[in-house]
């Protein structure tokens, strides 16, 4: 879900760029990628825009009548005037003109201010041109000048537009934001053996980070995390090895990479047991070097949490998404895992906030809010609030602050289908609890789960607010919203 100095979620870019982003968007001027890291007061509305695009199709949970119809938004990125939307996508409904546009293959873009869909920019990412679900796009990043889009996923081929001849690019590719043309960048993921899946991509201080399920890059043995040249795709001399697994249902992998605004630290999550030479199970904090590579920070997931080894399901990793707050001091993990009403100290099916202070002995997260059985898949942290999406029905089944269970009168179980906002202001009496009035409904759809999140600074008139993507339809009773919901800022 985004790279430093160009990424788009609340916590990816220095605040000095944010005012510029709102100005640029409002004036409709092309610009370098700008993103959201503003520590801004006030909630975004929970009334979703009725002009942002919709993605038609079927839902993605097991047992649906037609699995091939599954359509889902899995990543979002803001670059210049555009919102890029990626996942499993074949057609898009432009709700500004009430026209449905076909011919997309798992990615499209639309104007952040007018919400008009670009009907001509149609690069194709695929394994089979007749299938969509076998080649989802799961990660996006952009070059500092906004001219290059890096795309990560499960595809094997890329074409510049509908009907054009494709070229082989396994797991990651670079295309022009001007016309969708395929750029020379070629990391040759899995050349030499192993898997070909790249789950996430980030550009940090001139180095492109690839996180995924692979064992080779450009013929070099590199497992799960690679630092490569953003022009050629060749791996650099400095790499950070990861190894081992926590669950045996999948191989060693990095699922998500989050870079803080200051480009000083990163958090990686996935299925791994060792990073560098130390034990770091499923989560590791990295210190970013001047050249854009990284070393392992002393922070470690507290051993008494047993996050995926005892309390949570072992069928997959418990950590599903991670995001930094704007100050780069805290990071949040959205998790799944079937933990029950109060899985603590397991942290499954919960939102947990940690402080990255280099202390390996911190005995607990600062905040834990458990959903009660149902998964969370994405989080955007604005500093004041954490906006979360998933398959959950509710919040506040169990809330812990600094490891101590907390109760507030009238603030127990609350209905928040698929989306919620949590207070992250320590001085707020409701710290760690869901915002009661925000999406306090069972009307909003869940589907397999809302799975991606993007926060942009500025007012709603300039595209500011929170964007959440997934496979569900209907938000607060508006059934015209499908798989993509935009909640404008005041």
User: H or E stretch including 25?
Assistant: helix 16-27
Q: What pLDDT does 356 receive? A: 84
Instruction: Give me the numbers of helices (H) and strands (E) for the chain, helices first please.
Output: 1, 37
**CB of 352 closer than 8 Å to CB of 339:** no
| Backbone torsions φ then ψ of 21, nearest 5 degrees | -65, -40
More confident residue, 39 or 335: 335
Q: Which residues contact 428 (CB under 8 A, 6 or more apart)?
A: none
Cis amide prior to 235 (ω within 30 degrees): no
Question: Side-chain half-sphere of 183: how many Cα atoms within 13 Å?
Answer: 22
**CB of 151 closer than 8 Å to CB of 107:** yes
Span 441-487, pLDDT tens digits: 999 999 999 999 999 988 898 999 999 999 999 999 999 999 999 99
Going by pLDDT thresholds of 50, 70 and 90, the confidence category of residue 434 is very high
**C-alpha closest to that of 301 among 259, 327, 276, 269:** 269
Strand partners, 117: 110
Span 277-290, pLDDT tens digits: 899 989 999 999 99
Q: Which residues contact 449 (CB under 8 A, 6 or more apart)?
A: 375, 377, 389, 390, 391, 418, 470, 471, 472
| 349 has pLDDT over 80 | yes
What is the rounded distance in angstroms from the CA atom of residue 447 to the CA atom of residue 72? 10
Q: What pLDDT does 248 receive? A: 86
Span 138-178, pLDDT tens digits: 999 999 999 999 999 999 999 999 999 999 999 999 999 99
Mean pLDDT score across all residues of the chain:
88
Span 201-255, pLDDT tens digits: 999 999 999 999 999 999 999 999 999 999 999 999 999 999 999 888 899 999 9
Going by pLDDT thresholds of 50, 70 and 90, the confidence category of residue 39 is very low
| Backbone torsions φ then ψ of 318, nearest 5 degrees | -85, -35
Span 377-400, pLDDT tens digits: 999 999 899 999 999 999 999 999
């Amino acid at each position: 879900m985004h790279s430093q100095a160009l990424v788009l979620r609340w916590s990816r870019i220095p605040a000095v760029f944010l005012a510029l982003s709102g100005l640029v968007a409002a004036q409709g001027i092309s610009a370098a990628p700008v993103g959201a890291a503003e520590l801004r007061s006030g909630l975004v509305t929970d009334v979703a825009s009725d002009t942002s695009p919709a993605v038609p199709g079927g839902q993605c949970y097991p047992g649906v009548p037609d699995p091939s119809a599954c359509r889902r938004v899995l990543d979002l990125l803001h670059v210049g005037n555009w919102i890029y939307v990626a996942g499993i996508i074949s057609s898009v409904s432009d709700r500004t003109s009430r026209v449905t546009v076909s011919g997309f293959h798992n990615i499209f873009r639309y104007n952040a201010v007018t919400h008009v869909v670009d009907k001509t920019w149609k690069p194709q990412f695929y394994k089979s041109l007749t299938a969509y679900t076998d080649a989802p796009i799961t990660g996006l990043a952009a070059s500092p000048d906004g001219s290059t889009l890096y795309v990560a996923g499960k595809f094997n081929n890329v074409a510049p537009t509908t009907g054009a001849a494709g070229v082989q690019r396994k797991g990651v590719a670079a295309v022009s934001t001007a016309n969708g043309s395929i750029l020379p960048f070629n990391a040759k993921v899995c050349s030499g053996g192993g898997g070909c899946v790249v789950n996430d991509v980030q550009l940090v201080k001139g180095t492109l980070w690839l996180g995924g399920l692979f064992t080779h890059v450009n013929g070099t043995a590199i497992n799960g995390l690679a630092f490569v040249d953003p022009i050629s795709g060749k791996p650099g001399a400095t790499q950070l090895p990861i190894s081992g697994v926590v669950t045996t249902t999948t191989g060693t992998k990095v699922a998500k990479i989050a870079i803080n605004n200051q480009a000083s630290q990163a958090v990686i999550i996935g299925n791994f047991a060792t990073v560098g030479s130390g034990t770091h199970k499923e989560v590791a904090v990295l210190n970013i070097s001047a050249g854009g590579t990284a070393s392992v920070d002393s922070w470690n997931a507290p051993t008494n949490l047993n996050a995926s080894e005892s309390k949570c399901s072992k069928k997959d990793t418990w950590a599903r998404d991670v995001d930094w707050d704007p100050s780069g001091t805290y990071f949040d993990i959205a998790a799944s895992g079937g933990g029950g009403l109060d899985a603590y100290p397991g942290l499954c099916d919960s939102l947990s906030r940690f402080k990255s202070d280099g202390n390996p002995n911190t005995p607990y997260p600062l905040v834990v809010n458990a959903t009660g059985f149902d998964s969370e898949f994405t989080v955007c942290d604005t500093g004041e609030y954490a906006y979360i999406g998933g398959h959950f029905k509710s919040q506040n089944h169990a809330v812990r602050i600094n490891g101590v269970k907390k109760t507030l009168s009238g603030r127990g179980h609350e209905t928040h289908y698929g989306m919620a906002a949590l207070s992250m202001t320590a001085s707020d009496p409701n710290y760690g609890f869901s915002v009661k009035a925000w999406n306090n409904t069972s009307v909003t759809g869940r589907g397999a789960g809302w799975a991606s999140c993007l926060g942009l600074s500025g007012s709603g008139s300039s595209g500011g607010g929170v964007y959440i993507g997934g496979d569900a339809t209907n938000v607060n009773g508006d059934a015209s919203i499908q798989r993509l919901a935009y909640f404008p800022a005041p």
